[in-house]
Amino acid sequence: MFIIFWIYRPVVILEIGVAVLVAVFLLVYLATRYNPPKDPLFYVFAEFSFTCVIDLTSALEYDGYTSGFMEFYQKTGEPYLGTPYAIMMCYWDGIVHFILYLMLIHRMSNRQQYRTLGLFWAGSLCANMIVFVPGIVVGKNDSEINPAFWLNMPFLLVPIWGAVSLFSRPRDMPLVGASKAEREQKKALIWRPLDLLFVVYLVAAMGFTIFRGLAVLDCPLEILNRYVTEYEPYLKDPVGFPKVMMLLLLFHALPMLGSFAYGLCTPGCTWMLDWTVYFAGAILQCQWSHIGASLHPRTAEMYRIPITTLAPVLLLNLLYAVGPVLLALRCKREPDYFLSIINCLIGTTVFQWVPVNLVIT
């Protein structure tokens, strides 16, 4: 009886969590000691893939598909994992992030390029935790914060370090023919219909971002109050996560959307090739959790999307989620417009198109 009582103490839950994370790291380290990976991110992906299983188990248990696995942790560890947003976040982590970790580890083991995939992961996990951690503190679940809350800190800080590390590495892309790139960069936006469509989309997305940001800030405009009441009442859920997410989008996603519109109008913006991928991962994760939570049966009925406006709200949110992914694919598949030019004089002028951080020797 004493042992059971001791295990259920909140501080002990934190200690057990730290011990498990350290034990998993040691197992991975010992398993690879004779052929150690060159990139320390390998250990991160292996460690985090283990926690993905825990997150998926937690989500399944809260939704009633399993029972008895996470009950003690849900009560004395992190009770806020039972909120609809956290449940959808755990599904994303347990499925999408787990698949990403397996793909990244596979590509690392086979010495294949993985920088682009890593940037997508970094954007997704950074957005995940930047919304989740502050949302716990400022929402109605602040009274449920136990010592196990600090187990989230590695998952907040490590992907930030991983993103910085990945951004500083050479890009995964081949050289591009000079003539094709030169033709592309001379075209005005009006003669690039796909890019023109993306610019229109980005401007519309900026407007939608500002609109929802003002809505969660209690702007007294009638149109905002009507939108929250009739279309997305989840924005006013006191749980805290939707408000934190809309503020994150307002102050961080909004400038990036504007930067992408500029990059589509100005040739040679090589940063577009990286930041669009990172941003796509972040927006996709945010929108998955936001849409899922606003429809989840655990959300109070007064905060769910009304049936009468379900179609337009889902359409708006899906467009907001998918657009950045399509933009990232466009930039990676047709990078000519975004590359820099190096003039190499060898008897005559030769144009060679390379990524800006690729050194030619």
Residue 335: half-sphere exposure toward Cβ, Cα within 13 Å: 25
Distance CA 293, CA 246 (A): 14
Distance CA 232, CA 313 (A): 7
Provide the 10 A C-beta neighbour count for residue 310: 14
Distance CA 208, CA 204 (A): 6
Can you give the pTM of this predicted structure?
0.90
From residue 359, alpha-carbon distances to 170, 354, 355, 356 in Å are 9, 9, 9, 8
pLDDT, position 358? 42
Distance CA 120, CA 86 (A): 21
pLDDT, position 178? 62
For the chain, how many residues are written?
361
Q: Which two tokens stand for residue 188?
A: 């005005």
pLDDT tens by residue, the chain, 361 residues: 444 444 557 788 888 889 999 999 999 999 988 888 889 999 999 999 999 999 999 999 999 898 877 777 877 888 889 999 999 999 999 999 999 999 999 999 998 999 999 999 999 999 999 999 999 998 787 677 888 889 999 999 999 999 999 999 988 765 666 667 777 788 888 999 999 999 999 999 999 999 999 999 989 899 999 999 999 999 999 998 999 999 999 999 999 999 999 999 999 899 999 999 999 999 999 999 999 999 999 999 999 999 999 999 999 999 999 999 999 999 998 888 888 765 333 333 344 444 444 433 3
Amino acid of residue 302: M
pLDDT, position 174? 59
Q: Are 7 and 72 in contact (CB under 8 A)?
A: yes
User: Using alpha carbons only, what angle is made at residue 121 by residues 356 and 145, rounded to the nearest 5 degrees?
Assistant: 130
Domain ranges of the chain: 2-167, 178-341
